[in-house]
A and B are shown apart, each in its own frame.
Chain A
Amino acid sequence: MDSIIESFSKALSLILSLNRELWGIILLSIEVSGTALVAATILGLPVSALLGFKKFPLRGMIITALNTFMGLPPVVVGLLIYLLLSRSGPLGFLALLYTPTAMIIAQTILAFPIVASLSHSAIVSVDPIIRQASMTLGATPFQISLAIIREARYGIISAVIAGLGRVMAEVGAILIVGGNIAGFTRVMTTTIAMETDKGNFELALALGIILLMISLLINLALYFIQKRGVEGVNR
């Protein structure tokens, strides 16, 4: 019991002392997950729009695949990227294994299906009358699609935030492809996993507290955005 309390107070003083190592880890986490999220959004939004507005062969299969990949186990993604990037792998010549870039790639793959699939759901659940209304007002097909996307905006923002929640909390993929190298590829979740293993609880606890706070912020943002979306719709 005493040791838990002691660890907690040491963790708090670590946070409050703005420990350099600690902040380096936090910043890298935000950088990796943030970049991955931006990439997943840039890739995911057009895909969700395409699936929402165009009819083409295999469309249903792609939607099912995206839904399935939303629950992709991070360790499996990590393993696959590892095999691709390892020195003997097909992309080994890029020398990306154990770099932040490899971690960004892994997290982009994890976030992409979430952003694409949830945005697609948001787009297709827009009332069809919106399409008709913008058509009656003289919109081009492209402008009609934009009007529908605008109606889906709260759902799309929620999709992006859900993607962020997924990658911020994830440890399996980035541990495998990043290697948790101090000062280079160490992020919050991997540090927590490794330091706990070593019995080094203060740093792990400090990072755990911060990770919890970040995840609380993400969920608060999600809550307020969904609330705003619903307020607009309820008469």
Chain B
Amino acid sequence: MRLGIEVSNITKKYNGDPILRNCSFSFKTPGVYILTGPNGCGKSTFLRISSLIEPPDSGMVSFFSDGNPVPADLQLRRRITLVLPKVGVFNTTVFKNIAYGLKIRGIHRREVEEKVNRALEFVRLSHKKDQNGLTLSSGETQRLGIARALVIEPEILFLDEPTASVDQKNSLIIEEIILTMKKENGPTVIMTTHDQGQAKRLADTLLVIRDGVLSAGGDQK
């Protein structure tokens, strides 16, 4: 029923420099996983590899549902999504940005409109829907990224530093969004942050990357 990820023995080098070394972890129970670690330790790299945006040098990312393996094809890719640290806003309205994932899935216009409006409300951007997405503030941009991801109803949502360069107020709004998703049995969240307080507030499971090695940083709650 619930999609899980098994990351096994992931290794990644950039220009001969090993960034991730034999990282393994099994994300099988739903909840919020928080990944921390110093700048440049490979958190974003780990998220890109686990979300199938980039292949590892060696090792495997596999998916399973009810203990059965799920092939990593387009269909599977459409059940997970990653919000990039810089989001990657399209040069068009906020509304059309959020509608994108639904449009490429061939979803009917009326349904698109309904879902996008609901997502806009959820991240409190309804009043900005006709504004060009590139003109949003950093906090609003992150919320746009989250709405654009949530609207496709992913089973696993990767968030790469959604609150970096975001003020306290927006940061708390984003935390609330994540907690609401959890309460409403939303997607499994795998996110990175440098905010230790936030990590404690949100995490069901804490993970840390140090010297290229991923390890569980002790369970919360």
**B84→A138 contact, CB < 8 A:** no
**A140→B82 contact, CB < 8 A:** no
How many A-B pairs fall under 8 Å by CB?
A: 59
Which residues on A sit within 8 Å (CB–CB) of B132?
Answer: 232
Stretch among B61-69, B100-108, B212-220 lining the A interface? B100-108
Instruction: Give B57-92 interface residues, CB cut-off 8 Å to A.
Output: 74, 77-78, 81-84, 86-92
**B82→A134 contact, CB < 8 A:** no
Q: Which of A137, A143, A147, A235 contacts B148 (CB 8 A)?
A: A137
Q: Which of B74, B83, B89, B135 contacts A136 (CB 8 A)?
A: B83
**B91→A140 contact, CB < 8 A:** no
Stretch among A57-65, A124-132, A186-194 lining the B interface? A124-132
CA gap between A222 and B149 in the complex, in Å: 35
Among A137, A139, A150, A234, the most chain B Cβ lie within 10 Å of the Cβ of A137
Which residues on B sit within 8 Å (CB–CB) of A133?
Answer: 84, 87-90
Determine if B188 is an interface residue (Cβ-Cβ < 8 Å): no
Q: Which residue of A lies closest to B103 (CB)?
A: A143
CA gap between A143 and B152 in the complex, in Å: 16
**B91→A138 contact, CB < 8 A:** no
Among A127, A139, A147, the most chain B Cβ lie within 10 Å of the Cβ of A139
Determine if A210 is an interface residue (Cβ-Cβ < 8 Å): no
A132 with B88: in contact, given A137-B104, A138-B104, A235-B134 (CB under 8 Å)? yes
Q: Which residue of B lies closest to A138 (CB)?
A: B78
Determine if A135 is an interface residue (Cβ-Cβ < 8 Å): yes
Q: Which residue of A lies closest to B77 (CB)?
A: A138
**A139→B84 contact, CB < 8 A:** no
Instruction: Give B19-56 interface residues, CB cut-off 8 Å to A.
Output: 51, 53
Which residues on B sit within 8 Å (CB–CB) of A135?
Answer: 53
Band of interface residues on B:
20 to 34
Closest-CB distance, A150 to chain B (whole angstroms): 7
Determine if A233 is an interface residue (Cβ-Cβ < 8 Å): yes
Which residues on B sit within 8 Å (CB–CB) of A139?
Answer: 104
The 0/1 profile, CB within 8 Å of B marked 1, for residues 134-159 of chain A is 11111110010001001100000000
Closest-CB distance, B8 to chain A (whole angstroms): 22
A132 with B84: in contact, given A137-B101, A139-B104, A151-B90 (CB under 8 Å)? yes
Number of A residues contacting the other chain (C-beta, 8 Å)? 20
The 0/1 profile, CB within 8 Å of A marked 1, for residues 119-136 of chain B is 000000000000010110
Closest-CB distance, A16 to chain B (whole angstroms): 44
Which residues on A sit within 8 Å (CB–CB) of B149?
Answer: 136-137
A233 with B152: in contact, given A129-B86, A133-B88, A138-B77 (CB under 8 Å)? no
**A132→B104 contact, CB < 8 A:** no
Among A127, A136, A140, the most chain B Cβ lie within 10 Å of the Cβ of A136
CA gap between A127 and B132 in the complex, in Å: 17
CA gap between A8 and B101 in the complex, in Å: 60
A137 with B90: in contact, given A129-B84, A132-B53 (CB under 8 Å)? no
**B91→A233 contact, CB < 8 A:** yes
**A233→B81 contact, CB < 8 A:** no
Q: Which of A127, A129, A136, A140 contacts B51 (CB 8 A)?
A: A136
Q: Which of A130, A136, A138, A234 contacts B90 (CB 8 A)?
A: A130
Closest-CB distance, A159 to chain B (whole angstroms): 17
CA gap between A133 and B86 in the complex, in Å: 9
CA gap between A136 and B42 in the complex, in Å: 19
**A147→B134 contact, CB < 8 A:** no
Q: Which residue of A lies closest to B78 (CB)?
A: A138
Q: Which residue of B lies closest to A134 (CB)?
A: B100
Closest-CB distance, B168 to chain A (whole angstroms): 21
**A147→B90 contact, CB < 8 A:** yes
Apart from the given pairs A135-B53, A138-B101, A150-B90, 4 other A-B contacts in the complex at a CB distance below 8 Å: A127-B88, A132-B88, A136-B84, A151-B90
> Would you give 8 A-B contacts (Cβ < 8 Å), ordered by A?
A130-B90, A132-B84, A132-B88, A133-B84, A134-B100, A136-B53, A137-B104, A138-B101
